[in-house]
Amino acid sequence: MDDNSTLFRPFDMGKLRLPNRITMAPMTRNLSPDNIPTEQTVEYYRRRAAGGVGLIITEGTCIDHVAASGYPGVPYFYGEERLAGWKKVVDAVHAEGGKIAPQLWHCGGMRRAGTPPEGDVDGYAPSGMCMPGKVNRHIMSQSDIRDVVQAFAKGTADAKAIGCDAVEIHGAHGYLIDQFFWAGTNVRDDEYGGSLANRSRFAIEIIEAAREAVGPDYPICLRWSQWKQQDYDARLVDTSEELEEFLLPLSEAGVDIFHCSTRRFWEPEFEGSNLNLAGWTRKITGKPTITVGSVGLSADFIPLPGEVNFREAEPASLDELVQRMEQEEFDLVAVGRALIANPDWSNKVRDNLSSELRPFKKEMLETLV
């Protein structure tokens, strides 16, 4: 299939207007010394905007909470110098005609005490667990929960203040919000634990506080997933009925776009339907959705045995992606490793130059280019 034009139709939901349907997926790079975006960071995102990406979702950037970070060298989204660094990124993306949303992140129980620069601060988790059954992290109090909710709201307000076009709240992949969602790591006996509705309360309070901080017209995206990095086979829900129970309160709280993280975008979510997770989410909520998962590549990202980096992969056909988008299964598509390998991926696909696309190699993660 040579006609990829459906990927390049404008997207307009009122709050957010994009020139095409291509988004850059958030990918942690660990290349921000002192947790400040550098000039290399600015150029990294600028090149993707110049290369035709409609919406850039940044790597995870930590909110203003003492235990938010779990990895060295990740950027933070608070403090005058750090926000000034992000403002340079925003301005560079806008100068190329792109739009940008920071992904606001709290690592929760994935943090280990000793991670710099906070040092001995322990990871925070709903029940003190990073992995089901292993209580070896700080168990969050009601006061801790309130502090984190307000930190997400502050990050959202700061995103709007420095000119970001939207914000994405990271509720996926076994990090803090997802640790509340997941029954395996949330065994609380208060209003934040037990039922799926109670386990969603923390996320709903974050979304409501963020919405209050920026008003009704600022786009808020929520990234969520069934799988966890602790357990790739984990699931929050097993049926479309459970999915509806999970999603509608989040939608009503103020989510505008759902970023539905899967390892392989083409896989059906439930038996009896070909819809993927983004397709089901769109059908249930009526809200725009982003699909993601090995787009344009021959293999998913899961590292091979003995390795820790994203898996290497060759360019692959977009035929099924285009067909699904033509059927309006989802609204936007997030591209990850292919955009690390090819800053101009979007323009090359638009211009039918896919034969010029480079494969993704793990050494590409060592620098920002």
Write the burial class of residue 6 (CB in 10 Å: 0-12 exposed, 13-18 middle, 19+ buried).
middle
* Of 289, 261, 88, 286, nearest in space to 178 by CA: 261
Burial of 310 (0-12, 13-18, 19+ CB in 10 A): buried
DSSP state of 229: T
Q: In sequence order, what are the residues at sequence separation of 6 or more whose Cβ sits closer than 8 angstroms to the Cβ of residue 12?
A: 18
Are 361 and 298 spatial neighbours (Cβ–Cβ below 8 Å)?
A: no
The answer to whether 78 is a known catalytic residue is no
Query: Which residue, among 135, 105, 113, 140, has the nearest Cα to 124 in the 3D structure?
Result: 140
Contact yes or no for 67/144 (Cβ under 8 A): no
Q: Which residue has the tokens 């293999």?
A: 299
Catalytic site residue from 76, 175, 192, 218: 175
Indicate which residues carry an active-site annotation.
175
